[in-house]
Amino acid sequence: MATIAPAKAKRAYAGIIIAALPILVATAAGANSPATTEASLGQLLFAGHCAQCHGADGKGHGPVADVLKVAPSDLTTISMRSGGKFPAERIAETIRYGGNVTAHGTRDMPIWGKVFSVQGGGGKRGGAFSRQAVIQLKDYLESIQQK
């Protein structure tokens, strides 16, 4: 296993903490109100779970991107790379199970579907939270596609 230089590790950890702040602030401010859209809830999930690698803008330049073996992809070009149509089912599958994305590791590694389930309390409640989180994140990714 490769080691990360202490200075890079500190920047990476600081980036993760900074990326998670919007979730904490929005949750405290009532982000679960009925007026909040699926995509905006997905934006909060993105900020806390994806932005550290993919960047706040989704273009692949997050604070830990330079310490990864495989550069994160530009998530704003998913539709463009898929013939002009957003592949919603494939994206949900990738979020849920990690897909065959080298940077996400093998399917045996922890992936967001499992993480969301644990965050939701596990069991039926966790499964429902996990499904909803995947949909919200997918909707957000669809909303940031370049035209």
pLDDT at 140 over 50: yes
Mean pLDDT in the chain? 74
Q: pTM for the whole thing?
A: 0.67
Residue percentage of the chain with pLDDT more than 90: 32
Sign of CA dihedral 92, 93, 95, 101: negative
Among 113, 83, 65, which residue's Cα sits nearest to residue 74? 65
Q: Is residue 1 part of a domain?
A: no
Q: Is residue 73 part of a domain?
A: yes
Owning domain of residue 110: 6-143
> Which spans in the chain are helix H?
6-28, 38-49, 51-54, 78-81, 88-97, 112-119, 123-143
Q: Is residue 62 part of a domain?
A: yes
**Count of domains observed in the chain:** 1
- Looking at residues 40-65, what average pLDDT do you find? 92
Q: Is residue 99 part of a domain?
A: yes
Ranking 10-14, 92-96, 107-111, 134-138 by mean pLDDT, the lowest is 107-111
Among 80, 81, 94, which residue's Cα sits nearest to residue 138? 94
- When pLDDT is cut at 50, 70 and 90, the band that residue 12 belongs to is low
